[in-house]
Amino acid sequence: MKFKWALLSLVFTISTVLIGCEPVLVLDPKGPQAETTANVIWLSIATMAVIVIVVFTLLVIILFKYRASKQSEDYEPPHIEGNHIVEGIIVGIPVLIIIFLSVVSVKSTYEVESVPKGYEDQEPLVIYASSSNWKWHFSYPEEDIETVNYVFIPTDRPVEFKLYSFGPITSFWVPQLAGQKYAMADMVTTLHLAAEVPGEYMGRNANFSGEGFAENIFNVTAMSQEEFDTWIDEIHATAEPLTEDEFDRLLEPGHLGQMTFTGTHLDFLPPPEGEHGGHNHGPSESESPSHMEHEYSDHEDHEHHDHGEHDNHDSHE
């Protein structure tokens, strides 16, 4: 009886605590990319729950059915050969589970890396999101504005974030809209998302990047296209222009509040793309094969000329 009341008290306590908890953001999606991620998480939880229930049920059955009993001292258990069916089941089922979860993971990864479903024919809003210690800079090249530690996006429209960093590697994450994506110093990564519900969403750096990491957060506000256009007009009417000196001050380590500027730092400090990128594995557009062949030919002629002078010098001696 005491065990029964103790178990009921434990269940009641856990239920009370869980009722008071806020919903887990990653399981409360507000866009198609985040919904795909949430579905995979729920599917993984359900799969693991089934495995745990089956394993513990079999454990109880085995412990009860095959528990030790009083036997005579000369009792010798019978010799039992291995059962191929049982062995096939205990090996085959885990293999099938791994294959199933692998297929789900690969399929969902391709989905979240692509333009959100249903938005393929729409023109995306391109935003460059760059991090520094310990703040986020959002550049709107088409709208010619820049914000710090907050970003506005229209609902029901694909958004394409171009991510990079002015310092250590960071991770761009808006749990209710998309998964995480790294921002690095020498290359640009791309994150696709779309917000289908207006509202404010928390975003943060999910990769430890120093002492100010805990407060390296930003706000994402989703609104209608009309409200977004009005906001753009208000920024151009009220905000100060972003200068190179001002941006250099913004890059200094520290925390800042939300700030807004007209113009972007992309004009005087381009992102690490193309010739500005660090991951160059081949010739750029300016270095065409014919151009490289011309340089190689000139190099050969120069070497041949030096070699000829060397031979003449030897013969003179």
> Which residues are paired to 200 by β-bridges?
221
- pLDDT of 304 > 80? The answer is no
User: Which residues share a beta bridge with 171?
Assistant: 182
- Residue 289's Cα: distance from chain center in Å? 36
In this prediction, residues 35-46 reach a mean pLDDT of: 95
From 2-16, 215-229, 270-284, the region with the lowest mean pLDDT: 2-16
pLDDT (mean) for 250-260: 94
Rounded average pLDDT over 112-128: 95
Q: Are 149 and 184 in contact (CB under 8 A)?
A: no
pLDDT at 226: 97
DSSP 216: -
94: Cβ–Cβ under 8 A, 6 or more apart, which residues?
Answer: none
Confidence of residue 19 (pLDDT cuts 50, 70, 90): very low
Q: Provide the mean pLDDT of the chain.
A: 84
CA dihedral sign of residues 217, 219, 220, 225: negative
Torsion of CA 218, 223, 226, 230, to 10 degrees: -30
Radius of gyration of the chain (CA): 31
Percent above pLDDT 70 for the chain: 79
| Sequence-separated (6 or more) residues with CB below 8 Å from residue 306 | none
- pLDDT at residue 302, as a whole number: 46
Q: What's the confidence (pLDDT) of residue 10?
A: 59
Give the pairing of strands 181-183 and 170-173. Answer: antiparallel
Q: Any idea where the domains of the chain sit in the sequence?
A: 125-275
Provide the pLDDT confidence category of residue 286 given band limits of 50, 70 and 90. very low
pLDDT score, position 9 = 66
Q: How confident is the model at residue 295 (pLDDT cuts 50, 70, 90)?
A: very low
- 3-class secondary structure, 173: strand
User: Is residue 162 within 8 Å of residue 11, measured between CB atoms?
Assistant: no
> Who wins on pLDDT, 244 or 13?
244
Residues 171 and 183: beta-carbon distance below 8 Å:
yes
Q: What is the CATH number of domain 125-275?
A: 2.60.40.420
DSSP state of 282: S
- The pLDDT of 232-237, averaged and rounded, is 96
**pLDDT at residue 120 greater than cutoff 90:** yes
Q: Is the pLDDT of residue 110 over 60?
A: yes
CA distance 64 to 202: 51
- Residues 82-108, mean pLDDT to the nearest whole number: 92
Could you tell me where the beta strands, DSSP code E, fall in the chain? 125-132, 135-140, 145-148, 150-154, 159-165, 170-173, 181-183, 189-193, 199-205, 217-223, 240-241, 259-262
Nearest to 182, CA basis, from 159, 150, 214, 205: 205
Residue 183, Cα to own-chain centre: how many angstroms? Answer: 9
pLDDT for the residue 303: 46
Q: How confident is the model at residue 79 (pLDDT cuts 50, 70, 90)?
A: confident
All residues at 6 or more sequence positions from 205 whose CB lies less than 8 Å from its CB, including other chains: 131, 134, 136, 170, 171, 172, 173, 213, 216, 217
Q: What number is the average pLDDT over the span 72-97? A: 86
What is residue 316's predicted lDDT score, i.e. its pLDDT? 43
Q: Say what the pLDDT of residue 80 is.
A: 79
- 132-191 tens-digit pLDDT: 999 999 999 999 999 999 999 999 999 999 999 999 999 999 999 999 999 999 999 999
Tell me what pLDDT residue 289 has: 42
Q: Which amino acid is at 120?
A: E
Provide the pLDDT confidence category of residue 314 given band limits of 50, 70 and 90.
very low
Q: Does a cis peptide bond (omega within 30 degrees of 0) precede residue 134?
A: yes
Q: Is the pLDDT higher at 296 or at 249?
A: 249
Using DSSP bridges, classify how beta strands 150-154 and 217-223 pair: parallel, antiparallel or unpaired.
Answer: parallel
